[in-house]
Amino acid sequence: MNTDATLELACDLIRRPSVTPADEGCQALIAERLAALGCHAEHIRYGDVDNLWLTHGSGRPLTVLLGHTDVVPSGPETEWQTPPFEPTISHGHLYGRGAADMKGSVAAMVVAMENFLQAHPDHNGTIALLLTSDEEGVARDGVRRVVSDFLAANGIDIDYCLVGEPSSHERLGDTIKNGRRGSLGGRLIVRGSQGHVAYPHLAENPFHRAAASLATLCETQWDRGNDDFPPTSFQISNIHAGTGADNVIPGTLEVLFNFRFSTEVTADELKQRVHSLLDAHNLNYELDWRLSGEPFQTPRDSRLLQAAQQAGEEVLGYPAQTSTAGGTSDGRFIAPLGAEVIELGPLNATIHKINECVAVDDLSQLTRIYHNILSRLLL
Peptide bond into 21 cis (omega under 30): yes
| Catalytic entry in 24, 135, 141, 356 | 135
Q: Which of 160, 198, 10, 24 lies closest to 95 in space, CA to CA?
A: 10
Strand partners, 185: 258, 290
| Annotated binding residue 68 | yes
> Is residue 240 part of an annotated ligand binding site?
no
DSSP class of residue 231? P
77 a catalytic residue = no
Separation between Cα atoms, residue 83 and residue 89, nearest integer Å: 12
Q: Is 101 annotated as a binding residue?
A: yes
Neighbouring residues of 353: CB distance < 8 A, sequence distance ≥ 6 = none
Q: Which of 187, 158, 193 is nearest to 339 (CA)?
A: 158
| Residue 136 is labelled as binding a ligand | yes
Question: What is the rounded distance in angstroms from the CA atom of residue 333 to the CA atom of residue 338?
Answer: 10
Amino acid at 296: F
Number of neighbouring beta carbons within 10 Å of residue 379: 11
CA distance 323 to 298: 11
Count how many Cα atoms sit within 13 Å of the Cα of residue 164 in the half-sphere of its side chain: 31
Contacts of residue 75, defined as CB under 8 A and 6 or more positions apart, other chains included, come to: 354
Q: Is 12 a catalytic residue?
A: no
- Give strand ranges (E) for the chain: 40-46, 49-57, 62-68, 88-90, 93-95, 126-132, 160-163, 175-177, 179-180, 182-191, 195-196, 233-241, 248-249, 252-261, 285-293, 296-297, 321-323, 340-343, 357-359
Residue 153 near residue 72, CB atoms below 8 Å: no
* DSSP code, position 195: E
Residues in the annotated binding site for Zn(2+): 68, 101, 136, 165, 352
Catalytic residues: 70, 135
